[in-house]
Structure 1
Amino acid sequence: MELRHLRYFIAVAEEGSLLQAAERRLHTAQPSLSRQIRDLEMELGVKLLERKARGIELTAAGRVFLDHARLALMQIDVACEAARNTERPHKPGFSLGFLPGQEVIWLTEALRVLRDDASGADLTITTKSSPELANALMQGEIDVALLRRETKTVGLDFKFLTSEPLVAILPARHRLARHKAIRPEDICREDFISTARAAPVLKTVIEEYAARVGIKLKQIYDAETLSGGMSLVASTGGFTLLPSYVQNALIRSVVARPLHGEVPTIDLVMGYNKSNTSPLLKKFLQWADEHASRESNVVARPLNSAESTARVLRRGKPR
């Protein structure tokens, strides 16, 4: 098995089509891509993909293999960067942590905060799930992270940044994808993909929302990652509820739709270890206070679900 087999498989799984993966992502011929996938399946001894009328679907083995393949490539990238770093002059380090996809919204602003003070620092950008970011903060592996207000932490403190509305993630060809907004009474009839393992705070928000609007979600899977949740949505025809920022990282075979009526929200906070004395961390904490102050001064008015989603996607951009 070679790394290209993993990259090819991930591309097909995320595109939901051999043709689209070959043309858009891999710039290769479809017959060649099909042959590489068959070789991978023969080596593993299991079938990873099934051809359907509407494209490619992952088998149960394919869904499991997808998360591990992504992790393997991430670990290779980390190993390559670590090897390169041995040849670079030593600099004081500062590490920023983001939820996957949040860096699209917040990284430019974060770099602006550090521009004057971190010119001599070796900056590292990390993307992990919220529980993983909290653990990295406790272990001193990263200096500051944008994450959820995790409860099972020791020695951490959090500063509020913003509240994000949840959106429904559906297969692009799902009948509800034609709607401008999704009603609670519609989603309760559909199969629900949970992401509780990767996002326990999100699980609580969703449970409270379901109780408020009087629906019961039909959970069929519990994904280990948010990206895994989106892949399960594409392959099973179910749906999931995720913070609006994930629209920056949607795979092509799924779409996001706002929720109709009362929109549940989840807080995004800046987390840090209280024992960290880095002067760069102090800059970030000062910026977080200023940002929260601006948020509190926004004149509140009732927003519909689309406006609420759009507001969150605009937040965090440089002013």
Structure 2
Amino acid sequence: MELRHLRYFVAVAETGSLTVAAEKRLHTSQPSLSRQIRDLEDEVGAPLLSRSARGVELTAAGRAFLDHARLALAQVDAATEAARRASKPAKQVFALGFLTGHEMTWLPRAMRLLSDELPNIDVTVSSDYSPDLADALARGKLDLAFLRAEPGFDLDYRVVDHEPLVVLMPSDHPLTSRDSIRPEDFSGETFIAASNKATVLRAVIEGYIEWCGLDITPQHGVDNLAMAMSLVASTRGLALMPAYARNLLPGSVVSRPLAGTVPTIDLAIGYSRSNTSATLKLFLSRADELAASAALS
């Protein structure tokens, strides 16, 4: 008994027709297929198919044989795939992380840097808050991430962009009539600031408030952009957030640029210096292209 006998029998059983199985599934002649089925039945020692003018039907022996034939073919296919995988070296995984929302801009640029290596590696992509990305880098769960230069982690950072801060406000707020927002426009408004978890953003915002000489007491603190947008809409407050927020705003929230000297927050690529990945080394050797692409956008 050969594998082709099993494949021929399963094809006939599933189509219910020698003609259809021969022409559509097996691409052979019907007489040849009939001979193969007879040879199989001779070896089994029992008729497997009942032939009539309406086509073919499985006999009791055929029904019993079909499940085992399918299992045998499935096991052969699995064995073949396992052998093929074993004959090839496993692909290296390169794990990329992105501060949520930045993958829209930076993932295509990162993939261009890795284009020559893509046939040889598997790239995984995840998005998260910046402190969580830094923690994942430190624990070896990520190879490289686009994030803030988070303090308190034994990581190296390279700045790839300086993002201006913009003002978020409800879409029907009176200040939406302005082309830009002046520091004094914050007076009397509910102000939504970054929480202690968003360490880097909080420091930039507090530095701007102090530089402007504003007397602002934040009413709310947020860990991330999603929370900021929700509070802006629900409290009708104002928030300072990095400019990438403009790509993610719901209809209830709009943005306006700041007038005058605009504070910026750095976006960096972070990695562990103890990571010996050859793909990471290649990526870092071309990292200057990332900063150049940001300057052109």
TM-score between both structures, scaled by the size of structure 1: 0.62
Q: What is aligned with 2:134?
A: 134
Report if the CA contact (8 A) 2:193-2:205 is conserved: no
Report if the CA contact (8 A) 2:96-2:145 is conserved: yes
- Between the two proteins, the alignment pairs up a number of residues equal to 210
Offset at 1:108? 0.8
Q: Distance in 2 between matches of 1:177 and 1:287?
A: 41
User: RMSD of the TM alignment (CA)?
Assistant: 2.0
Q: What is aligned with 2:238?
A: 239
Amino acid across the alignment from 2:254: V
Q: Deviations over 1:79-104 (max 9, x none)?
A: xxxxxxxxxx7642111111111111
Amino acid across the alignment from 1:233: V
- What pairs up with 1:110-149 in 2 under 5 angstroms? 110-149=110-149
Unaligned runs of 5+ in 1: 1-88, 296-310
Amino acid across the alignment from 2:145: A
Q: Distance in 1 between matches of 2:199 and 2:121?
A: 34
Unaligned runs of 5+ in 2: 1-84
Q: What is aligned with 1:153?
A: 153
Structure number with larger C-alpha Rg:
2
Q: Deviations over 1:255-305 (max 9, x none)?
A: 11100111001111110000111111112212223444x48xxxxxxxxxx
Task: Give runs of ≥4 in structure 1 deviating > 4 Å.
Answer: none
Q: What is aligned with 2:173?
A: 174
Amino acid across the alignment from 2:280: L
Q: What is aligned with 1:37?
A: none
Report if the CA contact (8 A) 2:91-2:122 is conserved: yes
Distance 1:244 1:212, change over 3 A: same
> Residue 169 of structure 2: SS of its match in structure 1?
strand
TM-score between both structures, scaled by the size of structure 2: 0.67
Q: Distance in 1 between matches of 2:97 and 2:196?
A: 19
Offset at 1:206? 0.6
Q: Which has the higher contact order (CA 8 A, sep 6+)?
A: 1
Q: What is aligned with 2:12?
A: none
Offset at 1:198? 4.3
Q: Distance in 1 between matches of 2:145 and 2:263?
A: 23
Q: What is aligned with 1:200?
A: 199
Report if the CA contact (8 A) 1:195-1:226 is conserved: no
Q: What is aligned with 1:230?
A: 229
Q: Distance in 2 between matches of 1:285 and 1:189?
A: 47
Q: Deviations over 1:188-239 (max 9, x none)?
A: 3211112224421010001111111111223111123220111010111001
